[in-house]
Amino acid sequence: MMIPRRRVKTALLLASGLLVIAAIPGFAVDVVHLNLGTLAGPGWSARAVSVQLNWLDERHARLLLQTQRVALPEGLGELSEVTLSCAHAQLTATEIKCAQGAIKAQSTVLGVQNIQTSFRYQLDTGRIDTELQGVHIHDGTLAITASLSDARWQIRVRGKALSLSAVTGQLADAGFAIPVVAGSGHLNLIASMSGVATQLHEADVEMQLLAEEFSDAAGSVAGENLDISVRATVQAAAAGMQVALDMTGRQGALYVDPVYIEMPPQPLRLSARFDWLPTEQLVLQSLTYRHPGSVHL
């Protein structure tokens, strides 16, 4: 059984050690090539991983990391021909930093990716901070900022113009019980999440749906000329999750069988607070619905 964090840390410590040696007068090391083989962890693995460092001076090097194939957790597909490059990485005895790098990969789910990145890896603590820009997904783009320290993680995601039909299709493929719709709708979102290992501790998601028209195959869900905003906050509790949901409808019409709602001139508002239990039960704590000029529930 392989422990990837230890293997990577050992390799990077070796590279830092070689950096120190390269600085000794009369002893020059121009290129370091490390073959790390296969790295694996819960739900993922990377095959034929290698790292190459071309020293520029005693503290900087061109960095190139390559792997033939990366198997991701279920529903995320695989990556192939992955390269991470940084033309001017900074290496010291305690950290590796890259202010401007690039990732290229072929994804079975998202296609060809050319991503701008920056990262910082602290060798003494194992903490990783990274930023990804220009991730192409569902006809839109994502920007991702993430931090990982031991098993604790934090992620912030900003998505622009994500295809509603593609998003619902992938969520359904991943096992979520939601209708798959077709049409012209797209999503903008901002999401912040944190947790430990595979456990989500809290999340804050803001989403805007803009759609000329969409519907599912059965005609049980449909919308037209929509402008709807949704915010959801999730907090881990002793039993399940506590969820707060707020929706604002500014324009258009929405049909969710058997309910049809046409947005009034003043914004429609819906707020709900509920507990989602591990037994897949929902316990509603409060619900407020305001349809100006018509209903206040």
- Bigger pLDDT: 8 or 223? 223
Do 165 and 139 form a contact (C-beta atoms < 8 A)?
A: no
Overall residue count recorded for the chain in this entry: 297
Element housing 14 (H / E): helix 4-22
Element housing 286 (H / E): strand 282-291
| Nearest residue to 58 (alpha-carbon basis) of 118, 108, 16, 121 | 16
- Bigger pLDDT: 281 or 25? 281
pLDDT at 8 exceeding the cut of 70: no
- Which of 21-35, 69-83, 123-137, 164-178 is most confident? 123-137
Q: Which two tokens stand for residue 59?
A: 């503290």
Residues 54-107 pLDDT 10s:
989 888 999 999 999 998 877 678 999 999 999 999 988 888 999 999 999 999
Q: Which two tokens stand for residue 108?
A: 């079975």
Chain-wide mean pLDDT for the chain? 87
Q: Which residue has the tokens 């279920």?
A: 74
Residues 247-267 pLDDT 10s:
999 999 999 999 899 999 999
For CA atoms 74, 154, 138, 268, the dihedral sign is: positive
Identify the pLDDT of residue 25: 46
Q: Which residue has the tokens 């083989």?
A: 37
Q: Which two tokens stand for residue 185?
A: 């709708």
Q: Is 0.85 topped by the overall pTM?
A: no
Burial 43-76 (b: 16+ CB within 10 A, else e): eebbeebebbbebeeeebbebbbebebbebeeeb
- Bigger pLDDT: 146 or 29? 146
Identify the pLDDT of residue 14: 56
Residue 18 backbone dihedrals phi, psi, to 5 degrees:
-65, -30
- Bigger pLDDT: 272 or 126? 272
Please provide the DSSP assignment of 142-190 as one string: EEEEEEEETTEEEEEEEEEEEEHHHHHHHHHHTT-----EEES-EEEEE
Q: What is the SS3 assignment for 138?
A: coil
Identify the pLDDT of residue 115: 95
**Rounded to whole angstroms, how far apart are CA atoms 77 and 44?**
10
- Bigger pLDDT: 178 or 8? 178
**Rounded to whole angstroms, how far apart are CA atoms 203 and 207?**
13
**Rounded to whole angstroms, how far apart are CA atoms 46 and 35?**
12
| Nearest residue to 110 (alpha-carbon basis) of 131, 79, 156 | 79
**Rounded to whole angstroms, how far apart are CA atoms 258 and 222?**
11
Identify the pLDDT of residue 272: 96
pLDDT at 23 exceeding the cut of 50: no
Residues 228-250 pLDDT 10s:
999 999 999 888 899 999 999 99
